[in-house]
Chains A and B, each alone.
Chain A
Amino acid sequence: MTYFILKRICVTFLVIAVTSVVAFLLVHLSGDPAAAMAGEGATESDIAAVRQLYGFDRPLIVQYFDWIGRVLQGEFGRSYYLRMDVADVLADHMPVTATLGVLALSFALLLSIPLGVLAALYPNTLIDRIALWLAVAGQALPSFVFALGLMYIFGVYFRLLPISGGATWAHFIMPAIALGYYATPAIMRLTRSGMMDVLQSDHVRTARAYGLAPWRVVVRHGLRHAIIPVVSLAAVQLGFMLGGSIVIETIFSLKGLGYLAWESIQRADIEVIQAILLVIATAYAFLTLLADLLNAVLDPRIRMS
């Protein structure tokens, strides 16, 4: 088992390393970074100056290792536009995205797991159909349409919730719902099918045979088993949410990493863009690692082998 963990950790680091190369290449090979940074209306000499200043004239390999070397020391470069250390900029924006992500995931779990359990307990009834239709609807709704819809209903029409900024907890409610609902169908379906399987199992039959209270049977002996793959899925979905937060953050003016990415892309702030890609990819890689480890710990069958 420890061998398995070590192997997974090594693979994760390898993935992060290769991803960093890809991210780097993406940024540097999509057109001329110097020209992009210099902006429109820049003269040749302006562009050349930028190129020199940022070392874009060096061979790509050199540039890459220079960058990675600095990153490993915690130095992410300097934002061209903001005239700040990228590390500081990231640190300013990360908490918002992290909060949003966790809230969104919590919303998704709180909605989909109970629905999935109920749908499994009463298959082919009204609640089951509601759950399945919710799943279908959830997949068909683009996040920005949903976000604007929420904004209109709760922010404009009913004036219940604030629609922009990130000052209070209330500011995160709609963004969290808009970001989280997309994970709901997958989690609900997985919970439902897992529960339907486990409810047929022998040990649930034993629990029932001993007259245990229904909630105990369903939760302690049923959900406990069915939830294992859901935990993995949830970690992975969180990773997706981190990457997909850009749309939500721009709509609701939440100053998180997504918002920063959006601004930096518009301003061609190369160092920041690179850093954000790397940070999000790393977060996703670690979340999938966490998902695998949780799976190994929680699943008694893996523990037994």
Chain B
Amino acid sequence: MRGEPILEVKGLQVEIPVEGAVLRPVRGVDLSVSRGETVAVVGESGCGKSLTALAIMGLLPRAARYTCERITLKGEALTNASPRRWRQLRGDRIAMIFQDPMTALDPCYRIGDQMREILQQHRRISSQAARERSLELLRKVGIPSPEERLSQFPHQLSGGLRQRVMIAMALLCEPELIIADEPTTALDVTIQAQILRLLREIQRDTGIGLILITHDLGVVAGMADRIVVMYGGEVVEVGACDDVLSRPLHPYTEGLMRSIPVPGQTKRGDLLGFIPGIVPRQVGERTRCGFIDRCPYAVESCATGPVPLSAVGNGREVRCAIPAEKRDPQAWNRLAEAS
């Protein structure tokens, strides 16, 4: 589903000064989302995907700074937008859904009050109208007996219901873009599927853009139109969802795919693939490929300099110096045995 572009981010960098050094957890990330499109940002913890989202929303912790070549929302350039403009946009044009609905909602206030607060912040609307709108959205996300829910406190709802409430809150002002940061990680597997289905429905109905941040490839498969794979603060692979999943180009993506058991194929006793090693600390400039320590195909030339992200046709991009034909199919097994 391609539509007009909603969000365009170019060259996003996040820096955090620490004692004696500067951490750079996000390095030169490009991201774009179009109307009605779901972009999944995938990577393990520490790869910078959440920070990227927070940076886009202007929600970075105080200690962090970010720079960006360009960031536009529906044509409006936000590169030097004032904090006031950002406050106007957040919750209104861009909304964010967080991972843990248990802690994301304020336990001291009723659901209805929290929803009304958001509406009245961005719109001139009476309490009565706010109530109507809240009810409408609670129904839309499939919450039974919404009138009751409005006067309940967050702790009185189950995890799945709470996440639905968060989605409803995100939709209150009809945003153009929703960023969902691990929206299902804290939920039961059965609830996960419901929530994901709900997000897809909403997207179909309203045509909003959705950025789905997750470390779980299983979540991505049925949901995303495009996948952006991140590692070590960089984008390492981009492409259409089915394309990337069936034909991963970057060794890291390959590793991720290998670690998923396939129903019907993976047999009991098979060793699940894994990528040995841990994410390196992100300090200073890159002097070589960021994945080199864990890559099964690494050769000396990978250490000579930073590897750029290159387009390889069909909307695919990958950050790797070793083309597919030069890769040894046994390399992963050797790596697994070595560790």
Contact = CB atoms under 8 A, between A and B. Distances in A.
Interface of A: 200-203, 205-214, 216, 220-221, 224-225, 300-301, 304
7 contacts: A202-B100, A202-B103, A203-B104, A208-B59, A210-B169, A211-B92, A214-B87
Given A203-B103, A300-B108, A209 B117 contact: no
A202 B90 contact: no
- Which one of A216, A300, A301 has the highest number of Cβ atoms from chain B below 10 Å of its Cβ? A300
A213 B87 CA distance: 7
Contact of A205 (B98, B117, B122): B98
A301 B91 contact: no
A207 B107 contact: no
A224 B117 contact: no
Given A209-B91, A300-B153, 11 more contacts: A202-B104, A203-B106, A205-B59, A205-B104, A206-B104, A206-B105, A209-B59, A211-B86, A211-B121, A216-B121, A300-B108
A128 to B, nearest CB: 13
A304 B154 CA distance: 10
B118 A210 contact: yes
A211 B155 contact: no
Contacts of A200: 61
A17 to B, nearest CB: 37
B57 interface: yes
A224 B121 contact: no
A124 to B, nearest CB: 10
Interface pairs A-B: 7 shortest CB-CB:
A210-B91, A211-B90, A202-B103, A211-B91, A300-B107, A203-B106, A211-B87
Nearest to A123: B62
A304 B89 contact: no
Contacts of A212: 87, 91, 117-118, 121
B107 A224 contact: no
B96 A224 contact: no
B266 interface: no
A304 to B, nearest CB: 5
B98 A206 contact: yes
A205 B57 CA distance: 11
B259 interface: no
Contacts of B105: 203, 206
A224 B106 CA distance: 10
Contact of A210 (B95, B108, B153): B95
Contacts of B104: 202-203, 205-206
A110 B117 CA distance: 27
B88 interface: yes
Contacts of A207: 106
A225 B90 contact: no
A203 B107 contact: yes
A215 to B, nearest CB: 12
Contact of B122 (A211, A214, A304): A211
Contacts of A203: 103-107
B57 A209 contact: yes
Nearest to B92: A211
Nearest to A300: B107
B108 A209 contact: no
A206 B103 CA distance: 9
Nearest to B99: A202
B332 to A, nearest CB: 38
Interface string B93-131: 001101010011111110000000110011000000000
Interface in B121-145: 121-122
Contact of A224 (B89, B108, B155): B108
A209 B90 contact: yes
- Which one of B88, B96, B106 has the highest number of Cβ atoms from chain A below 10 Å of its Cβ? B106
Nearest to B100: A202
Nearest to B108: A300
A203 B108 CA distance: 10
Contact of A304 (B86, B155, B169): B155
Contacts of B122: 211
Given A205-B59, A205-B98, A211 B108 contact: no
Contacts of A210: 90-91, 95, 118, 121, 169
Contacts of B100: 202
Nearest to B102: A202
A207 B106 CA distance: 9
A174 B331 CA distance: 81
A221 B104 CA distance: 11
Nearest to A210: B91
B98 A202 contact: yes
A211 B89 contact: yes
Contacts of B106: 203, 206-207, 221
Contacts of A300: 107-108, 153, 155
Contacts of B118: 210, 212
A300 B122 CA distance: 28
Contacts of B96: 209
A205 B118 CA distance: 14
A201 B88 CA distance: 22
Nearest to A214: B87
Contacts of A225: 108
A117 to B, nearest CB: 15
A112 to B, nearest CB: 22
A216 B117 CA distance: 9
A221 B107 CA distance: 10
A205 B101 CA distance: 12
